[in-house]
Amino acid sequence: MQLSGFALTIAMFKSLKFFSGQSIELERLFADLVAFGYKRQSLVAEPGDFASRGSVVDIFPGSFELPIRLELDNDILVSLRSFNPSSGQPLWQHRIAIILPFKKSPPTKNFDFTEEFPLNNFVDIGVGDYVVHSQHGVGRFLGFERIKRQDKFVNHLVIEYDLKEKLYVPVETMHLVQKYIAFAARRPKLYRLGSGEWKRTKERTRRGIQKMAWDLLTLQAMRLAMGGFKFSSDTQWQADFEKTFPYTETPDQVKATLEVKQDMESGRPMDRLLCGDVGYGKTEVAMRAAFKAVMDNKQVAYLVPTTILAEQHYQNFSARLKDFAVNVELLCRFKTIREQKEILKRLQEGRVDIVIGTHRLLSDDVVFKDLGLVIVDEEQRFGVTAKEKLKKLKLTTDVLVLTATPIPRTLYMSLMGARDFSVINTPPQNRLPIQTIVVEYDLDLVHQAIKRELNRKGQVFFLHNRILDLEKVKNKVAQGLPAGLKIAIAHGQMPAKVLEKVMSDFISGSIDVLVSTMIIESGIDIPNANTIIVNSAEHFGLADLHQLRGRVGRFNRSAYAYFMFSRKEALDSDGRKRLKAIDEHSGLGAGFNISMEDLEIRGAGNLLGQQQHGFIAAVGFDLYCRLLKEAINNFKKTGVLNAAHS
């Protein structure tokens, strides 16, 4: 392999690399860490710390969300894991980690990011995995091999390309290699070394990415140029309202709230994406933003994907705002035509402060007197027409988008500077991980799980996603349960008033078991329901399974999620992978790992749009993100955003 192409990268790019089977001299490692700006401590508590106990070394790298633990056996690295710094509990196993020098201050503005700089801290590849080398393309990883170089043996990654050609990559340039991940499950094409085809593919992809980056940045520039309403600083009423939150805010909630308020007070239209795992408190941040808007006599539209979620948000907002002079309304199919007309009239007259509803809020007959803030829950679940209307709104109105579909960290890092993000990673206090059980369907186990929940005065979701035989399934589940048990069904084709009554009864606790379709997937928050049983779980996408699991365990009681697969059907490989992933990633904050698994299996891609999928398939997800970050940085250097002010 020719090394001349890497000379500049190595000169600019300092890093420590760790991989399973590596020989490590501890004293040399400690000296390297100190030279990289790390401080030795008795325990690691914050980025920049490292600690050692015998043959165990803990390091909290500056660019990592969690510290890593190296375990050695006779100076050989045998285990490399992320761990929870507060409990010491090991979390995820990794194969390769890349650590950069620790800097307390962010990189300087003139830092030139190129595709050769890693966005991902881990290179989690196994023998046989498809990988992408940024300069040579897609190949298959065969493992490590020690090769003699200048009188000493050096570890190399071995990658096989088309026609069985092999590339030997020295470990000091392993940051150029990442696992191949794309939206399609099909096997990628292996490239021929030195053929020029990879260079052409990458250039074509680069041009497509540059167009998307340009579109993102010009939209941002237009928003900056048009200007928006400058909200006032917080009032005493704001402080009084925030005190009514019955829980302790997490550090990330506090940070996200501050970022949203700064946007609102900036005088430019806000377009912020608030991303956080299921049940991590995004709604509270949105509620505080809504209250702030109303304090400046502006109206708020809160857009949600389902009628049931709209109803629940309406109940929560009404309860929290009962002591304040704020008028909240619900606009959805639960309301009669006459009621809807009355709400629309009052909206136009400015007599409604906050309106909560489904895509109905984007209809042409909905006219506001003075709309100041739009909050959108799970934007990707709305149709094309709704998204186009939202795009126009974003130019002049403050928009806050909430999503529980986690964004892979590499994509988040590549989009920084082109989109405003807030991320809630910290779970609420006393939150327990949900016990996840993946098992073949067994009616006796279903009855056992339901009885256990009922014995502690709890409630149960039983999910079956076929309306056709929902009643039949309900009767079968009810047969082995105690007499007097209250069991009901819920699905989207029920008359609005009937569905509203069922959900209201379940929320109030007068229904013990709710047998429903996916209608309960988004945001339903019922503290007393702490067991969910999902039938035919192999047919659901991974992100859907994660969302469903988030329906339980919302408070400090242990919760159970049963994912049952059909005994009559042989699981296909994708179904098996999804169930394995949901089982493995069941800890708090598992969503970000889920999103990477989901990308491997079928992909989320909501943030990027369909047209970008082909580019991701061409070069793999990690290199796509590097090229995107490079394009955004290059455009910003040429002053795309500055043009807005001239």
CATH class of 435-587: alpha beta
- What is the arithmetic mean of pLDDT over 113-135? 84
In terms of C-beta distances under 8 Å and separation of at least 24 residues, what long-range contacts does 188-191 make, across chains too?
Answer: 188/130, 188/138, 188/617, 188/620, 189/138, 190/138, 190/139, 190/140, 190/160, 190/161, 190/162, 191/136, 191/137, 191/138, 191/139, 191/161, 191/162
- What is the arithmetic mean of pLDDT over 122-136? 88
Q: Residue 13: its pLDDT value, please?
A: 58
Contact 134, 123 (CB under 8 A): no
Rounded CA separation 283/287 (Å): 6
End-to-end CA distance of the chain: 49
Lowest-confidence segment of 94-103, 282-291, 422-431, 612-621 by average pLDDT: 422-431
Radius of gyration from C-alpha coordinates of the chain? 26
Tell me the domain boundaries of the chain: 4-179, 230-424, 435-587
What ranges in 509-641 are assigned the alpha helix state H? 542-549, 573-584, 591-601, 613-619, 621-637
Listed in order, strand segments (DSSP E) in 441-555 are 459-463, 487-490, 513-516, 529-534
pTM given for the model:
0.74
Q: What is the pLDDT of residues 530-554, one digit of tens each?
A: 999 999 998 887 778 878 888 888 7
3-state helix, strand, coil in the chain (%, to 5): 40, 20, 40
CATH number for the region 230-424 comes to 3.40.50.300
> Both tokens of residue 51?
């600690």
Contact 19, 171 (CB under 8 A): yes
pLDDT band at residue 409 using 50, 70 and 90 as cut-offs: low
CA angle 411-412-418, nearest 5°? 100
Lowest-confidence segment of 240-254, 335-349, 602-616 by average pLDDT: 602-616
Instruction: Indicate left, alpha or beta for 100 from its phi (over 0: left) and psi (-120 to 50: alpha).
Output: beta
CATH class of 4-179: alpha beta
What crossing angle do the helices spanning 251-264 and 282-295 adopt, rounded to 10°?
30
Q: What is the pLDDT of residues 288-337, one digit of tens each?
A: 999 999 999 999 999 998 888 898 899 999 999 999 999 999 998 888 89
Rounded CA separation 186/150 (Å): 41
Neighbours of 132 (CB within 10 A): 28
Fold match between 230-424 and 435-587? yes
Contact 26, 57 (CB under 8 A): yes
Contact 357, 332 (CB under 8 A): yes
Q: Residue 3: its pLDDT value, please?
A: 27
For the four alpha carbons of 132, 138, 143 and 145, in that order, the dihedral sign comes to negative
Listed in order, strand segments (DSSP E) in 412-490 are 420-424, 435-440, 459-463, 487-490
pLDDT band at residue 10 using 50, 70 and 90 as cut-offs: very low
Contact 67, 44 (CB under 8 A): yes
